[in-house]
Structure 1
Amino acid sequence: MTIARTRIKHSDTNIDSPAILASLGLADNADGTSPEWAMQGMRAVSRAWPLFIMAQICIIVGAGRTALVGNMGELSQLVPLGLAMLCSLCLWLLPGGRLAIRLKPQYQMWLICALSFATALLTGLWFNALPKQIPGGLFTPFAGQVTLALIALSIFGHVRAPGFVYCVGLALCTLSLSMPGRDILIGVLLLAVGGSMVLQARYESARRYSEQANTKRNQRAEMLLHDYEESGRGWFWETDRSGALAYISPTLERSLGAEKGALIGRKLTDLVNMGAADEHEGNRTLGYHLSSRSSFSDVAVRAATQGDERWWALSGHPAVNEFGQFQGFRGSGSDLTEMKRSQAEVTRLAEFDSLTGLANRLQMQRALEQAVVDARGGAGECALFLLDLDRFKNVNDTMGHPAGDALLREVSRRLKHVVGERGMVGRLGGDEFKVVLPGRADRPKLAVLADAIIAALSQPYIIEGTQVVIGASVGIAVCPDDGSTADALVRNADLALYAAKDAGRGVHRFYSSDMHAEAEDRRRLEEDLRTALADNALHLVYQPLVSSQSGQVVGFETLLRWNHPERGPVSPTIFVPIAEEAGLIGILGEWVLRTACAAAAQWPSTTRIAVNVSPIQFSSPALPGIVMNALASSGLAPQRLELEITESCFINEGEKTDRMFAQLKSLGVRLALDDFGTGYSSLGYLKKAPFDKIKIDQSFVRGAAMAGNRNAAIITSIVSLANALGMDTTAEGVETHDELELLRSLGVSQIQGFIYGKGSSREEINMRFAEMGTTAQPSGFKSSRPPRQSMLRSVAIHHQGQRYVGRVRNISAGGAMIEGLWNVPPETNFSIEIAEGMTVSAVTRWSVDDRMGVQFAQAIDVRQVQAGAPVRLAG
Structure 2
Amino acid sequence: MSQAPENTYPPLPLQLNALELAGLRKPKDGEWPGLRALQYSNLAPTARMRAFGHIVAMCLALSTYAQQAPILHLVAWTVAIVATVWNRHRVERSLAFASARTIVRKGAKRHIWSVVALSLAWICAPLFIAPFGTETELLVLAILAAMLIAGSALTSVAPLNTIILSVIVGITMTGTLLFYGMWQVAFAMACFYSLLQFGALTSVKTFLTARIAEAGVAEKSETVSLLLREYEENEADWLWQVDTHRRVRAPSPRFAFALGQDPAKIEDESFIKLISGPSWDNGQFASSLRDLAERLKRRENFSNLIVQVEVGSGRRWWELSGTPMHDEEGNYTGFRGVGSDVTEQRESDEKIAYLARYDTLTGLPNRLMLTEALGEAMRYAKQWSTRCAFLMIDLDRFKQVNDSLGHQTGDKMLAQVSERLGEVISENELVGRLGGDEFAIVIRDASDRGAVARVAKKVITALSQPYEVDKNKLFIGASVGSAIGPRDGDSVEALMRSADLALYRAKDEGGGEHCVFEPELHAMAEERRQLETSLRHALEREEFKINLQPVVDANSEAVVSFEALLRWHSPEHGFVSPAKFIPLAEDTGLVVPIGAWVLEEACRQAATWPVDAKVAVNVSAEQLMESDFAETVVRALDLSKLPPRRLEVEVTESVFVRDGHIAKATLEEILALGCSIALDDFGTGYSSLGYLRELPFSTIKVDRSFVQGASQGSRESLAIINAVVAMASSLEMSTTAEGVETPAEAKMIRDLGCTKIQGYYYGRPMPVDEARALLANPRSLAKRDAA
1:760 deviation in Å?
A: 2.2
- Which of 691, 695, 698 lines up with 2:704 in the alignment? 698
CA–CA separation in structure 1 for the residues paired with 2:382 and 2:251: 54
- Hey, what does 2:617 align to over in structure 1? 611
Cα deviation, residue 637, structure 1? 3.8
Asked if structure 2 preserves the Cα contact closer than 8 Å seen for 1:379 and 1:480, the reply is: no
* Paired AA for residue 352 in structure 2: V
> For 1:734, what is the secondary structure of its paired residue?
coil
Q: What is the Cα deviation at residue 566 of structure 1?
A: 6.6
Cα displacement (A) at 1:771: 1.4
Amino acid at match of 2:762: Y
Structure 1 CA distance for aligned equivalents of residues 526 and 685 of structure 2 = 31
Q: Which has the higher helix share?
A: 2
Shift of 1:688: 4.9
1:234 matched to 2:237? The reply is yes
Moved more, 508-517 or 243-252: 243-252
Query: How far does residue 262 in structure 1 lie from its aligned partner after superposition?
Result: 5.0
- Percent same amino acid at aligned positions? 43
Change (3 A) 1:768 1:405: same
Select between 682-691 and 488-497 the one with higher mean Cα deviation. Answer: 682-691
Give the match for residue 475 of structure 1.
481
Structure 2 CA distance for aligned equivalents of residues 268 and 468 of structure 1: 60
Which letter does structure 2 place at the counterpart of 1:507?
Answer: E
Greater alpha carbon shift after TM alignment, 249-258 vs 475-484 = 249-258
CA distance in 2, matches of 1:245, 1:221: 32
Higher strand residue share? 1
Does residue 276 of structure 1 match 2:290? no
* RMSD over aligned Cα atoms: 4.2
Change (3 A) 1:439 1:667: farther
Distance 1:321 1:526, change over 3 A: closer
Secondary structure at the aligned position of 1:546 is classed as: strand
Contact 1:731 1:752 in 2 (8 A): yes
Kindly provide the amino acid, as one letter, of the partner of residue 513 in structure 1.
Answer: P
Going from structure 1 to structure 2, the CA distance change for 1:359 and 1:722 (only over 3 Å counts) comes to farther
Q: What residue is the counterpart of 1:539 in the other structure?
A: 545
8 A Cα contact 1:472 1:505, kept in partner: yes
1:267 to 266, 270, 286: 270
Question: What is aligned with 1:519?
Answer: 525
Aligned to 1:177: none
Classify 1:432/1:224 alpha carbon distance in 2 versus 1 (closer, same or farther; 3 Å).
closer
- Superposed, 1:563-712 pairs within 5 Å as 563-565=569-571, 568-603=574-609, 607-652=613-658, 655-679=661-685, 688=694, 691-707=697-713, 710-712=716-718
Deviation at 1:711, TM superposition (A): 1.8
**Corresponding letter in the other structure for 1:236:** L
CA distance in 2, matches of 1:666, 1:412: 47
Alignment partners' CA distance in 2, 1:341 and 1:612: 58
Q: 1:756 aligns with which of 756, 762, 783?
A: 762
Return the offset for 1:277: 4.6
Q: In the TM superposition, what whole-angstrom CA distance separates every residue of 1:792-826 from its partner, at most 9, and x where no partner exists?
A: xxxxxxxxxxxxxxxxxxxxxxxxxxxxxxxxxxx
Check conservation: 2:381, 2:445, Cα contact below 8 A. no
Q: Sort the Cα spacing of 1:479 and 1:326 in 2 relative to 1 into closer, same or farther, 3 A.
A: closer
Instruction: Work out whether residues 277 and 300 of structure 1, in 8 Å CA contact, stay in contact via their aligned partners in 2.
Output: no
1:343-368 CA deviation, whole Å, 9 max, x = no partner?
Answer: 22333233334454333333323323
Partner residue, 1:777: 782
- Contact kept, 8 Å, 1:469 with 1:651, in 2: the verdict is no
Structure 1, unaligned runs of 5 or more: 1-216, 782-847, 849-875
Partner of 1:435: 441
Distance 1:717-1:383 versus aligned 2 partners, 3 A rule:
farther
Structure-1 separation of matches of 2:643 and 2:265: 93
For residue 364 of structure 1, what is the aligned residue in structure 2? 370
d(CA) in 2 for partners of 1:443, 1:548: 58
- 1:53-92 alignment runs, 5 A limit: none
Offset, 1:559: 0.8
Task: Determine which structure has more spread, i.e. the larger CA radius of gyration.
Answer: 1
What code does the residue aligned with 1:777 have? A
2:692 & 2:489 partners in 1: Cα distance? Answer: 49
What is the alpha-carbon distance in structure 2 between the residues aligned to residue 310 and residue 549 of structure 1? 88
For structure 2, the residue ranges without an aligned partner over 5 or more in a row are 1-219, 280-284
CA distance 1:585–1:744, change in 2 (3 Å): same
Tell whether 2:291 aligns with 1:298.
no
2:711 counterpart SS class:
coil
Q: Residue 765 in 1 paired to residue 765 in 2?
A: no
- Give the Cα separation in 1 of the matches to 2:449 and 2:688: 35
CA deviation after TM superposition for structure 1 residue 337, in Å: 1.6
Q: Which residue of 2 aligns with 1:559?
A: 565
Residue in 2 that maps onto 1:335: 341
* Counterpart in the other structure of 1:496: 502
Q: Check conservation: 1:468, 1:652, Cα contact below 8 A.
A: no
**TM-aligned CA deviation for residue 538 of structure 1:** 1.2
Contact 2:538/2:544 (<8 A) preserved = yes
Distance 2:762 2:565 in 1: 15
Alignment check: 8 A CA contact 1:319 1:327 kept: yes
Name 2:719's counterpart in structure 1: 713
Q: Aligned in 2, Cα 1:219/1:515: closer, same or farther, shift over 3 Å? A: closer
Once the two structures are overlaid, the 10-residue window that deviates more, 696-705 or 711-720, is: 711-720
Q: Does 1:311 align with 2:314?
A: no
Contact 1:477 1:493 in 2 (8 A): yes
Residues 488, 517 of structure 2: 8 Å contact kept: yes
Secondary structure of the structure 2 residue equivalent to 1:745: helix
Residue of structure 2 in register with 1:862 after alignment: none
Task: State whether residues 371 and 380 of structure 1, in contact with CA within 8 Å, keep that contact through their aligned partners in structure 2.
Answer: no
The 2-side partners of 1:288 and 1:421 are apart by 35
**1:363 corresponds to which letter in structure 2?**
M
Point out the more displaced range, 480-489 or 746-755: 480-489
Q: Shift of residue 694 of structure 1?
A: 2.9
Q: Which runs of structure 2 are paired with 1:838-857 in the superposition (5 Å)?
A: none
Deviations 1:700-756 (A, max 9, x none): 111412345542122223334444555433221111222222222222232211121
Partner amino acid, structure 1, of 2:622: I
Greater RCO (CA < 8 Å, at least 6 residues apart): 2
Give the CA deviation at 1:479.
4.1
The alpha carbon displacement at 1:527 in A equals 3.4
For each residue in 1:108-140, what CA deviation from the matched residue of structure 2 results, as whole angstroms up to 9, or x when unmatched? xxxxxxxxxxxxxxxxxxxxxxxxxxxxxxxxx
- Partners of 1:592 and 1:227 lie apart in 2 by 76
When residues 744 and 299 of structure 1 are mapped into structure 2, their CA distance, relative to the original with a 3 A threshold, is same
Could you give the per-residue CA deviations for residues 413-467 of structure 1, whole angstroms, max 9, x where no partner exists? 4444444656222333454433222334666664464355446556677888988
Partner AA of 2:541 in structure 1? D
Contact 1:384 1:437 in 2 (8 A): yes
* Structure 2 residue aligned with 1:111: none
CA 1:440–1:220 in structure 2 vs 1: closer, same or farther (change >3 Å)?
A: closer
Other-structure match for 1:380 = 386
- Say if 1:475 and 1:511, in contact at 8 Å, map to a contact too: yes
CA contact (8 A) 1:756 1:776 kept: yes
Counterpart residue identity of residue 529, structure 2: R
Q: Given the superposition, is the C-alpha separation of residues 708 and 471 from structure 1 closer, same or farther in structure 2, using an over 3 Å criterion?
A: closer
With over 3 angstroms needed to count, the CA separation of the structure-2 counterparts of 1:366 and 1:323, relative to structure 1, is closer
**Separation of aligned partners in 2, 1:712 and 1:422:** 52
- Between 1:664-673 and 1:293-302, the stretch displaced more is 664-673
Report how many aligned residue pairs link the two structures.
Answer: 561
Alpha-carbon distance in 1 for matches of 2:734, 2:761: 20
Change (3 A) 1:419 1:220: closer
